């Protein structure tokens, strides 16, 4: 083929050698060490997985491989050897020669990493042309070829589009192409699929795997999802609080993890709930249509939530599941259909709902960071609904706040803290407690665990289940994560493009036969098996062949 496929160096050479890396970050209390003496060797043609929860220092290490530290951070010790030079001692100008050319970076959010004002192909060629490696014409030709390799639709014309004209998965692949533009020795992938739907994630993973193999590039793959990294990595480093927990071959880590922490990360089976069936319906949504302006997002949606049960609404982004939540809360009045709450018909507009009705339906948002006012202390966050709905004041109010804090397993010391002094999981618990303060009958949970680390999310799920058992509160649980559904749901509703494609009890949902879309969702969840990606691709290819034959 072309020179694109020529290989620099041979497989197995050490390309990056990090020794005793220590990085400090400036905080209010002084300098805190966030990377505590990490050794790392990367060989050509190898993918190294860095895995850990937030705060593990994995992104910081990934960026350090480019000789870069975030503002407010500083490399205090250690060497980062690349091609015989210590990146931690090179000047900015020298580093700029390397970055993008010999060491490339693929960020988590491709949408934020692309300049929206330029065409994709121009952004691709920029790196190569600026560094004087290729002229514009040959860089363009290469781009088209790479787009083809990455299975992007219509590769000749693809690059002429602007970032907003392609889908998230395509954009992420375009970014992988961009990283490959100068045939780098190392690519650092920083959670490239985390923001994507499961069905899209597969395409991106497959593309990355192929490209890295074909180009004999070394890669560092950063993620919090062990099942994802299992598909790609040859070796895995498990990190926690800036320390190495363990390191080993992918299979070895998956099959015989030596550290407890790794086992904990592996143990993905979340808490299981017994399915309960309710006699009484608390919420009934019947054939609801809803639209944002002229764009119709919900078509004929009907579902019901039984008293003290959990209905999970599953779907990918754009399926209309969050819109459904807005309709039930009254934020978005529906254009057709009716809502029933506790046996009575209710107004679809929030403005006309009574205070008592508002109290009985509470919403917990996805992002705890934006759903807590940064200027309100825990005491005020919980106290306001108590005063507002129940007229509690003074000592009675404080007593009830403490009671609520106990319910979410936080102690008294939290009373006077601001949200920024809480961790992500604690913030989400606080949001749940705020909803509970109203003494609601129905809590709508909109992706409440998707912004949290795996183990923290499981804690929040368990809390929600305990609360349901004790308080008989019902949940309308909106999520894209099927593990969460397995954990918490009594009934499952699958949505796709604003319509309900399947609904029924959880056991039926997880047992075949499936609706084709449900099938697609279920099989797209990465498994803890290094061969899963290849096998699923084979199955799908076979399926596609069969369909084209038929």
Number of residues near other proteins (by CB under 8 A)? 51
Least separation, in Å, of the C-beta of 410 and other proteins? Answer: 9
Among 96, 417, 439, 540, binds other proteins (CB under 8 A): 417
CB 487 within 8 A of CB 468: no
- Among the residue ranges 113-121, 317-325, 357-365, 534-542, the one whose residues contact other proteins (CB under 8 A): 357-365
Among 459, 498, 526, 530, binds other proteins (CB under 8 A): 459
Least separation, in Å, of the C-beta of 354 and other proteins? Answer: 9
Residue of 250, 180, 245 whose CA lies nearest to 211: 180
Residue of 368, 352, 332, 358 whose CA lies nearest to 498: 332
Instruction: By CB under 8 A, tell whether 150 contacts other proteins.
Output: no
Least separation, in Å, of the C-beta of 133 and other proteins? Answer: 30
**Toward other proteins, which CB reaches closer, 4 or 69?**
69
Euclidean distance between CA atoms 315 and 24, whole angstroms: 41
Among 425, 440, 526, 530, binds other proteins (CB under 8 A): 425
CB 381 within 8 A of CB 404: no
Scan residues 48-107 and list those touching other proteins (CB under 8 A): 53, 55, 71-72, 74
Least separation, in Å, of the C-beta of 502 and other proteins? Answer: 29
- Among the residue ranges 11-19, 83-91, 244-252, 453-461, the one whose residues contact other proteins (CB under 8 A): 453-461
The CA-to-CA distance between both ends of the chain, in Å, stands at: 34
Residue of 267, 285, 321, 6 whose CA lies nearest to 142: 6
Among 149, 434, 480, 506, binds other proteins (CB under 8 A): 434
Scan residues 310-339 and list those touching other proteins (CB under 8 A): 329-331
Instruction: Give DSSP secondary structure letters for 427-460.
Output: HHHHHHHHHHHT--SEEEEESTTTTS-HHHHHHH
How many other C-beta atoms can be found within 10 angstroms of the C-beta atom of residue 401?
23
CA dihedral 382, 386, 388, 390 (to 10 degrees): 170
Residue of 123, 164, 115, 162 whose CA lies nearest to 143: 123
Scan residues 227-246 and list those touching other proteins (CB under 8 A): 241
Residue 352 DSSP label: G
Euclidean distance between CA atoms 303 and 500, whole angstroms: 9
CB 248 within 8 A of CB 217: no
3-state SS, residue 550 = coil
Instruction: By CB under 8 A, tell whether 438 contacts other proteins.
Output: yes
Among 249, 258, 317, 370, binds other proteins (CB under 8 A): 370
> Max Cα separation, the chain?
78
Query: Residue 391 is encoded by which pair of tokens?
Result: 């007229």
Q: What are phi and psi of 171, to 5 degrees?
A: -65, -40
Q: What are phi and psi of 244, to 5 degrees?
A: -80, 125
Instruction: By CB under 8 A, tell whether 421 contacts other proteins.
Output: yes
**Toward other proteins, which CB reaches closer, 169 or 425?**
425
- Among the residue ranges 9-17, 298-306, 309-317, 365-373, the one whose residues contact other proteins (CB under 8 A): 365-373
**Toward other proteins, which CB reaches closer, 78 or 425?**
425
**Toward other proteins, which CB reaches closer, 358 or 540?**
358
Among 1, 29, 117, 137, binds other proteins (CB under 8 A): 29
Euclidean distance between CA atoms 324 and 320, whole angstroms: 6
Among 385, 440, 498, 530, binds other proteins (CB under 8 A): 385
Instruction: By CB under 8 A, tell whether 384 contacts other proteins.
Output: yes
Residue with tokens 């739907």: 197
Instruction: By CB under 8 A, tell whether 12 contacts other proteins.
Output: no
Show the site string, 244-273: x = touches other proteins by CB under 8 A, - = not: --------------------x--x-x-x--
Least separation, in Å, of the C-beta of 26 and other proteins? Answer: 7
Query: What's the gap between Cα 459 and its chain centre?
Result: 17
Q: What are phi and psi of 523, to 5 degrees?
A: -80, -10
User: Interface with other proteins by CB under 8 A: which residues?
Assistant: 26, 29, 53, 55, 71-72, 74, 241, 264, 267, 269, 271, 329-331, 350, 355, 358, 362-363, 365, 367, 370-376, 384-385, 388-389, 409, 413, 415-417, 421-426, 434, 438, 453, 455-456, 458-459
């Amino acid at each position: 083929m072309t020179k694109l496929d020529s290989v620099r160096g041979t497989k197995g050479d050490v390309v990056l050698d990090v020794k005793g890396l220590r990085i400090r970050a400036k905080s209010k209390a002084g300098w805190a060490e966030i990377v505590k003496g990490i050794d790392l060797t990367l060989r050509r043609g190898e993918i190294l997985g860095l895995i850990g929860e937030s705060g593990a220092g994995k992104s910081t290490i990934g960026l350090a491989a480019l000789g870069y530290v975030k503002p407010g951070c500083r490399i205090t010790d250690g060497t980062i050897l690349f091609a015989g030079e210590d990146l931690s001692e090179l000047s900015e100008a020298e580093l700029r020669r390397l970055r993008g050319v010999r060491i490339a970076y693929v960020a988590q959010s491709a949408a934020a990493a692309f300049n929206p004002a330029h065409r994709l192909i121009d952004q691709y060629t920029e790196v190569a042309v600026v560094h004087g490696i290729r002229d514009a014409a040959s860089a363009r030709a290469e781009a088209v070829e790479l787009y083809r390799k990455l299975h992007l639709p219509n590769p000749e014309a693809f690059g002429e589009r602007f970032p907003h004209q392609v889908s998230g998965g395509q954009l992420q692949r375009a970014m992988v192409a961009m990283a490959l533009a100068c045939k780098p020795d190392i690519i650092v992938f920083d959670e490239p699929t985390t923001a994507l739907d499961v069905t899209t994630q597969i395409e991106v993973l497959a593309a990355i795997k192929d490209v890295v193999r074909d180009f004999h590039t070394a890669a560092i793959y950063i993620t919090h999802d062990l099942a994802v990294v299992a598909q790609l990595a040859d070796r895995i480093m498990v990190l926690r609080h800036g320390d190495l927990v363990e390191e080993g071959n992918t299979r070895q880590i998956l099959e015989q993890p030596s550290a407890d922490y790794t086992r904990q990360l592996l143990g993905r089976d979340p808490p299981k709930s017994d399915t309960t069936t309710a006699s009484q319906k608390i919420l009934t949504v019947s054939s609801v249509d809803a639209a944002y302006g002229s764009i119709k997002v919900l078509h004929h949606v009907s579902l019901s939530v039984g008293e003290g049960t959990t209905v999970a609404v599953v779907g990918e982004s754009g399926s209309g599941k969050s819109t459904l939540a807005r309709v039930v809360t009254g934020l978005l009045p529906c254009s057709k259909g009716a809502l029933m709450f506790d046996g009575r018909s209710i107004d679809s507009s929030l403005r006309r709902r009574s205070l008592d009705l508002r109290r009985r339906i509470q919403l917990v948002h996805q992002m705890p960071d934006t759903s807590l006012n940064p200027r309100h202390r825990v005491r005020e966050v919980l106290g306001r609904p108590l005063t507002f709905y129940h007229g509690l004041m003074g000592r009675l109010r404080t007593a009830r706040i403490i009671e609520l804090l106990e319910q979410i397993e936080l102690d008294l010391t939290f009373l006077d803290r601001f949200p920024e002094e809480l961790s992500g999981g604690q913030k989400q618990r606080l949001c749940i407690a705020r909803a509970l303060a109203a003494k609601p009958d129905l809590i709508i949970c909109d992706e409440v665990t998707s912004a949290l680390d795996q183990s923290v999310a499981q804690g929040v799920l368990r809390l929600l289940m305990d609360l349901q058992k004790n308080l008989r509160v019902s949940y309308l649980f909106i999520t894209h994560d099927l593990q969460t559904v397995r954990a918490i749901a009594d009934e499952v509703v699958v949505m796709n493009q604003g319509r309900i494609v399947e609904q029924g009890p959880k056991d039926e949902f997880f047992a075949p036969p499936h609706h084709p879309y449900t099938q697609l969702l279920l099989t797209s969840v990465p498994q803890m098996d290094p061969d899963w990606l290849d096998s699923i691709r084979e199955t799908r290819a076979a399926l596609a062949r069969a369909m084209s034959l038929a």
